Amino acid sequence: MTFEDLHIASVLVSTVRNAPLLIFAAMAGLFAERSGVIDIGLEGKILASAFVSAAVAFATKNPWYGVAAGMAVSVALAMLQAYVAISQKGNQLVAGIAINIAMSGLTFVVAQYFFQQGGRTPDLGEARLFDVILPGSAAIEGVPFIGWLYAHLIGGHSVLVYLAFALVPLVHWVIYHSRFGLRLRSCGENPHAADAAGISVERQRYLAMLIAGVLCSFSGAYLAIVQSGFFLRDMSAGAGYLALTAMVFGNWRPFYTFLGCLMFALFQAIQIQIEGVDLPVIGRIPGSLIQMVPYLVTVIVLAGLMAKSVAPKALGTPFVKSR
Amino acid sequence: MNNQDLPRWATAFVMPVLNLLSALLVAALVIYLLGESPIESLGILVHSAVLNPEGLSYTLFYASTFIFTGLAVSIAMQAGLFNIGAEGQMYFGGLGLTVAMLAFDNSLPWWLLIPIGMLGAALFGALWSFLPGYLQAKRGSHIVVTTIMFNFIAASLMNFIIVKYLVPVGEQNPASRAFADAAAMPLLNQWFPILGETPFNISFLIAIAALVIYGVVVQRSAWGFKLRATGLNQHAAHYAGIRISKMIITVMLISGALAGLGSVNSIMGSTHYLSLNFVNGAGFVGIAIALMGRQHPLGIFLSAVLFGALIQGGFDLSLEKPNIPTETFIFIQGLIILFCGAMENFYAPAIARLIKRKG
């Protein structure tokens, strides 16, 4: 028996595969919220970029064009959000919810218009992003544990998976060790002090939303052209909110947020594993109840049973320059 | 922005109308891009939803549900709480109503069944909003995210409950058994035959009564004053002796109860059984209605009728124009929330300039 046969092995592999969707979105939310803008519209941006990247990848037969197009759409939505939150000084929560609801409808309508498959895109087939096979995987395959670790847990994923994991230290560095990050945090904590120090709060927040738009698009692209291989109506299924919760759980810090994402990814992996399995004592848990698990975990996390979090002080308040 | 400087007619009437028109203009552009004529579509919509009496009574039938979800979101908004969970609360309210009907529909007369059904719906709706309210009040968990999570949880849990416990033996359809005839809301067409064979029922009158009660309580009662004070400035309200956490929990219970009552029209007024996903977005429509109607009773009423017309007309439109499926109206709903909620002061500077020039 190889290690692969054990359930724990496939749980770990699928944790690694579930996590990028949440990591990209959570890092996007981190930039937005550290600058003082609430980003509840992650869900809508994921959905929009998922659809556009799937549709473009299908039409051009090139997944990278899909990724680029998804990015364009996600950035456009982020800029709309930024315009409402920063220039209009409107309600950021309402703007986010508006984007989520509008995209849930629009992606279906456009998908139906182009493909007539009930809001689904055709299977991407060749236009999916394929997995990276690390050099020497075949040679080492036979070695117990290490072969599996190298070829399946570390290797054998799409480029976007590696990008997601590499993003975490990068975001940490940008937020805590770069001049840009210092300014970003000052805008989220005390915009008036930042303003007095000569930083343009508006510009800084627009830049943060731009980065959020770019990062969030990878979530959508990952969901559509790596994980699924097609777009399906409302396929994000709350991932944007889970990412947001992972961020709250992680206290708006990149590494802890990453841990939060891994936790949710692990729960999703276990959820898939125990579906249809006869468990001792409890017996078989119906699929509809298992589906609730990530949402229940979110509520428990938010209830502060797992972490006590401190949000950026100026989160959600529009900046009005004092005279 | 400085919309306090604007006269009341501008903020209460001109701006909401301009915002709504902007949203509809964007929708028209999208319909045009889908290769259909926006003018022709509007014509079909108006004809189907307003101009013929049967269509109009369908419009008002949908509006009866939307008034309740709109009220649910509005009353929470008065306290500064953004309740996104009306969808799940109405779904759960439907369960409360169904449990009450399955227990009593064969033994009690209709005039007892209606209040019992309403009570069950309100109770279960409130039950579903209690935890988000409690967590917001006591633990500071953000109500927007918790109520969204409760929508997802309600969807799965109701699926489980309906399939496991409510489907009658030997049936495949994921729905409860149909209620006895006594549990049907009296239809309004028995007094006004012109309305045609539609499910338009006395829920509409109950909804109007709810609007009036809401208006009086929020605008004229001491409790309503406390409610609005909490929404305007929590710290000041707390300093004035209002118990904020109690206020948050109470208003969320009321909000959930109102959302739950939305199910009375959908179930007792139309289908007469509990079915999977019967809410079908009515809770989210409530958000758009609350923002568009500025939480004012008359505004809520007009917005609910508008959305009733969009749903009814949109259904007929989707039959005639396959490129404009009913989901288009989810998109329009998002646009209305964007323009009437998030960008509500978009036209304020322009109007202020216009007034200044005249004066």
Instruction: For residues A306 and A300, give the distance between their C-alpha atoms in angstroms, rounded to a whole number.
Output: 7
Q: Which of A40, A43, A86, A101 to mutate to test the interface with B (most CBs of B within 10 A)?
A: A101
Q: Is the pLDDT of residue A250 over 90?
A: no
Kindly list the residues from chain B whose CB atom is less than 8 angstroms away from the CB atom of residue A286.
Answer: 160, 163-164
pLDDT in tens, B18-69: 888 898 899 889 989 988 888 888 888 888 888 888 899 999 999 999 999 9
| CA atoms of B207 and A266, how far apart (whole Å) | 46
For chain B, the average pLDDT equals 89
If one compares B82 and A152, the residue with the highest pLDDT of the two is: B82
* Residue B234 within any structural domain of the chain: yes
Per-residue pLDDT reduced to its tens digit, B333-345: 889 888 888 888 8
Output B222 or B190, whichever has higher pLDDT.
Answer: B222
- Taking 60 as the threshold, does the pLDDT of residue A5 lie above it? no
Q: What confidence tier does A3 reach under pLDDT thresholds 50, 70, 90?
A: very low
Residue A19 lies in a domain: yes
Residue A313 lies in a domain: no
Q: What is the pLDDT of residues A201-217, one digit of tens each?
A: 889 999 999 999 999 99
- Over 70: is that where the pLDDT of B132 sits? yes
pLDDT of A130 above 80:
no
Task: Please report the pLDDT score of residue A4 as a whole number.
Answer: 43
Which position has the higher pLDDT, A281 or B21?
Answer: B21
User: Which pLDDT value is given to residue B16?
Assistant: 85
Range of the domain at A234: 3-131+143-302
Residue of chain A with shortest Cα separation from B154: A292
Average pLDDT over residues A69-92: 91
Looking at per-residue pLDDT, the higher value among B242 and A306 belongs to: B242
Q: In the prediction, which pLDDT does B115 show?
A: 94
Burial degree of B167 (CB within 10 A; 0-12, 13-18, 19+): middle
- The pLDDT-based confidence of A15 (bands split at 50, 70, 90) is confident
pLDDT attached to residue A139: 67
Q: Which of A88-92, A175-179, B241-245, B260-264 has the lowest mean pLDDT?
A: A88-92
* Contact of B164 with A287, CB cutoff 8 Å: no
User: Is residue A74 within 8 Å of residue A82, measured between CB atoms?
Assistant: no
Quick one: residue B227, left, alpha or beta (phi over 0 = left, psi -120 to 50 = alpha)?
alpha
Is a pLDDT exceeding 80 seen at residue A95? yes
Per-position DSSP letters for A41-104, written without gaps between them: THHHHHHHHHHHHHHHHHHHS-HHHHHHHHHHHHHHHHHHHHIIIIIS---HHHHHHHHHHHHH
| Count of domains for chain A | 1
Q: How many structural domains comprise chain B?
A: 1
**How far apart are the C-alpha atoms of B11 and B294, rounded to whole Å?**
10
Residue A197 CA: distances (Å) to CA of A86, A189, B324: 19, 14, 52
Q: Is residue B7 part of a domain?
A: no
Q: Which residue has the higher pLDDT, A286 or B146?
A: B146
| A316 is a domain residue | no
Q: Please list every residue in chain A whose beta carbon sits closer than 8 Å to the beta carbon of residue B288.
A: 101
Q: Is residue A6 scored above 80 in pLDDT?
A: no
Whether A98 and B334 lie within 8 Å, measured CB to CB: yes
What's the whole-number mean pLDDT along residues B276-286?
90
pLDDT-derived band at A323, boundaries 50, 70, 90? low
Phi (first) and psi of residue B34, to 5 degrees = -80, 5
pLDDT 10s digits, A255-267: 989 998 998 888 8
Instruction: Tell me what pLDDT residue B262 has.
Output: 95
Sign of the Cα pseudo-torsion (B45, B50, B53, B58, in order): positive
Query: In sequence order, what DSSP letters do the residues of B193-210 get, joined into one string?
Result: GGG-S---BTHHHHHHHH
pLDDT score of B359 = 63
Return the pLDDT at B253.
97
- Domain for residue A309, yes or no? no
ipTM of the complex: 0.85
pLDDT at B292 over 60: yes
Mean pLDDT, residues A184-198: 88
**Residue A28 falls within a domain, yes or no?**
yes
Query: Which domain does B55 fall in, by range?
Result: 20-343
On whether residue A215 sits in a domain, the answer given is yes
Q: Is residue B145 part of a domain?
A: yes
pLDDT at A283: 66
DSSP state of B187: B
Q: Is residue B47 part of a domain?
A: yes
Please answer whether residues A151 and A137 qualify as being in contact, where contact means their C-beta atoms are separated by less than 8 angstroms.
yes
Q: Is the pLDDT of residue B155 over 80?
A: yes
Pick among B2, B30, B152, B317 to test the A interface (most A CBs inside 10 A) = B152
Distance, in Å, from the CA atom of B92 to the CA atom of B96, rounded to the nearest integer, reads 7
Contact A102, B334 (CB under 8 A): yes
pLDDT category at B222 given cuts 50, 70, 90 is very high
Is residue A318 in a domain? no
Question: Between chains, do A84 and B327 touch, taking CB under 8 Å as contact?
Answer: no
- Asked if the structure places residue B358 within a domain, the reply is no
Q: In this structure, is residue A259 part of a structural domain?
A: yes
**How far apart are the C-alpha atoms of A17 and A35, rounded to whole Å?**
29
Domain of residue A66, CATH code? 1.10.3470
Q: Is residue B2 over pLDDT 60?
A: no
Q: Rounded distance, CA B150 to CA B155, Å?
A: 8
**Position A24 pLDDT exceeds 50:** yes
CB contact under 8 A, B131 and A299: yes
Residues A135-147 have a mean pLDDT of: 67
| 124-183 of B, contacting A, C-beta below 8 A | 131, 135, 139-142, 144-146, 148-150, 152-153, 156-157, 159-160, 163-164
Rg (CA), chain A: 20
Q: Specify the DSSP element, H or E, that contains A283.
A: strand A283-284
